[in-house]
């Protein structure tokens, strides 16, 4: 592909550099977290559960913008390592609540410290004004995506209209 075509693609799809950037950021965090035996995405799931932002696979998928099946696989690994637990609802066995174990909380603290050091290096030189502008753009894109509704049958909607997890 020629440079002209590359530029045209970037004009037509302005999110391409963001996707590439996110891939690099995740790779940097994954490298730093490897000695702890978890990935950046696993750390994000554990942190969301620990902070009570999301505690079911569907909620985590919606929050992280990934498929429920991906969350389920990651949770399986984390449960296998003794870092998270799964509790089935007594009223509805299909409903699963997730929580971080004491061992998981200790590892999460180490992971968050490593990730914070990486984040500081990644965002070095970016001003508060630039961060505010970025946040504003992300919020606009988020709202735009909400108006589109769910476009992928295995992912939750950003606007909270996802199907029941068992319907996927």
E strand intervals along the chain: 84-88, 96-100
Instruction: Determine how many CB atoms are found less than 10 A away from the CB of residue 94.
Output: 10
What digits encode the pLDDT tens for the residues 54-107? 889 999 998 888 899 999 999 999 999 999 999 987 888 778 899 999 999 999
Length of the chain measured in residues: 168
What digits encode the pLDDT tens for the residues 45-63? 999 999 988 889 999 998 8
| pTM metric for this prediction | 0.77
Contact 67, 155 (CB under 8 A): yes
Q: Which of 10-19, 73-82, 95-104, 143-152 has the lowest mean pLDDT?
A: 143-152
CATH topology of domain 3-122: Arc Repressor Mutant, subunit A (1.10.10)
């Amino acid at each position: 592909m020629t440079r002209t075509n590359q530029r045209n693609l970037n004009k037509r799809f302005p999110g391409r550099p963001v996707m590439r950037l996110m891939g690099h950021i995740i790779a940097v965090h994954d490298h730093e977290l490897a000695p702890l035996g978890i990935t950046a995405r696993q750390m994000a799931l554990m942190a969301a559960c620990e902070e009570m932002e999301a505690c079911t696979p569907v909620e985590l998928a919606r929050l992280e913008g990934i498929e429920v099946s991906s969350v389920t696989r990651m949770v399986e690994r984390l449960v296998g390592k003794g870092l998270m637990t799964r509790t089935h609802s007594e009223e509805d066995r299909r409903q699963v609540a997730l929580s971080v174990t004491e061992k998981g909380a200790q590892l999460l603290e180490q992971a968050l410290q490593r990730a914070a050091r990486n984040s500081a290096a990644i965002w070095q030189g970016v001003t508060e004004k630039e961060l505010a502008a970025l946040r504003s753009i992300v919020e606009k894109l988020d709202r735009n995506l909400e108006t589109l509704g769910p476009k992928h049958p295995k992912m939750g909607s950003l606007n909270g209209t996802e199907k029941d997890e068992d319907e996927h």
